[in-house]
Amino acid sequence: MSLGNLSTAQQLIKDHSIALTSSLAVLLSVLVFGMGWFSKPTYQPKGKHCYITGGTQGLGKALAESLVKQGAHVTVVARDVKKGERVEAELKALASPGQKVRFISADLIDSHAAEQALIQASEPFGGVAPDYVLMCAGFSRPKFFVEASSQELRDGFDGNYWVSAWTAHTAAKMMVKQRRTGKIVFVSSFLGYASFAGYSTYSPGKYALRGLADALRNEMILHNIDIHIFMPCGILGPGHDAECAEKPALTAKIEEGDTPIQPEECARYLESGLRKGHYQITDNLVCDFVRLRSNAGVPTNNVLLDTFYLLVSTIGVPIWRMTADASVKKFKKSVEADLEAKRFYDAPATTNFK
């Protein structure tokens, strides 16, 4: 570009500064709001068969209600038959005629039971796999590692990882064999990004779900199946109450700034992320900051916002970590006193401690 051209360009910019500024604002808004104006979301629940694990309480139940209201056919799966039948009745009350709503009781930690539940759920649909598989089952019982029994470690893992992995496995096989597309949605946690004292019973399962989802996100491009993973912070409800009942004081201290949200609000965040087509979906800003420091090799949600979050998280996440480490140091003496009171040090070295 010659100098003459340059001054012509300068003149043009001067003349059209308002038009240019507005164009730039539009471009930025488009980038920030994820180009949602131009692409039709592939998340369209109306008339779809949605299969929801852990669907009788908390996030799963809130999601089931929202999906029924949007005109989806909904199958909820959980263990407790009484609770399940009550929820089924509640959901049916929200449904229009022709909408299929159903509860199936299954212990999804068992691979065979997970398979049978999906087969059973697809029967009213001529054996066709559900369109959306949303896996909300999971539980948290924070405990110190040295005080947890082998059984508690195993239960904490199975109840967060295999409870979803078997369902995802069967669903993926069904969808691919039937040459159907669909969405497989995992629910991990903030504690699937980062972890701290008390969560050795929980984070391994939530990280493992991220490992599975990361592998499948790439692999399932082969079969046009969308993989998503939700990384919520605390969700109020019976699960949260049970978690808090046994939580070590140190763990509660590290989390003291957190504000758990209602399941309905949490479900709205999840659905909003699905509409935007985000791979990793979060439900608050802190979780988004942490996401940017944990997203090796997975798609960005929004180029501009994510760049900003990354800058903040680069400074903010280490500060959070140092605060958490400082809390542990502060609790050193009281934890030791507690272990002494429980005669932990006197027990044989390898006995499971309860």
Percentages (nearest 5) of helix, strand, coil residues in the chain: 55, 10, 35
Q: Work out how close the CB of 139 gets to its own copies at its nearest, in angstroms, rounded to a whole number.
A: 16
- Specify the residue, 51 or 331, whose C-beta has the smaller distance to its own copies: 331
- Specify the residue, 70 or 195, whose C-beta has the smaller distance to its own copies: 195
Burial class (CB in 10 A: 0-12, 13-18, 19+), 300: middle
Q: Work out how close the CB of 181 gets to its own copies at its nearest, in angstroms, rounded to a whole number.
A: 13
Measure the CA–CA gap between 78 and 52, rounded to whole angstroms.
9
Any idea which residues carry the catalytic annotation?
202, 206
Is residue 130 within 8 Å of residue 122, measured between CB atoms?
yes
Q: Work out how close the CB of 264 gets to its own copies at its nearest, in angstroms, rounded to a whole number.
A: 27
**Which strand ranges, in their side-by-side order, compose the sheet holding 132-135?**
101-105, 73-78, 49-53, 132-135, 182-187, 225-231, 280-282
List phi, psi (to 5°) of 56: -105, 0
Q: Work out how close the CB of 200 gets to its own copies at its nearest, in angstroms, rounded to a whole number.
A: 4
- Specify the residue, 186 or 269, whose C-beta has the smaller distance to its own copies: 186
The residue type of 77 is V
- Specify the residue, 8 or 218, whose C-beta has the smaller distance to its own copies: 218
Measure the CA–CA gap between 270 and 278, rounded to whole angstroms.
10
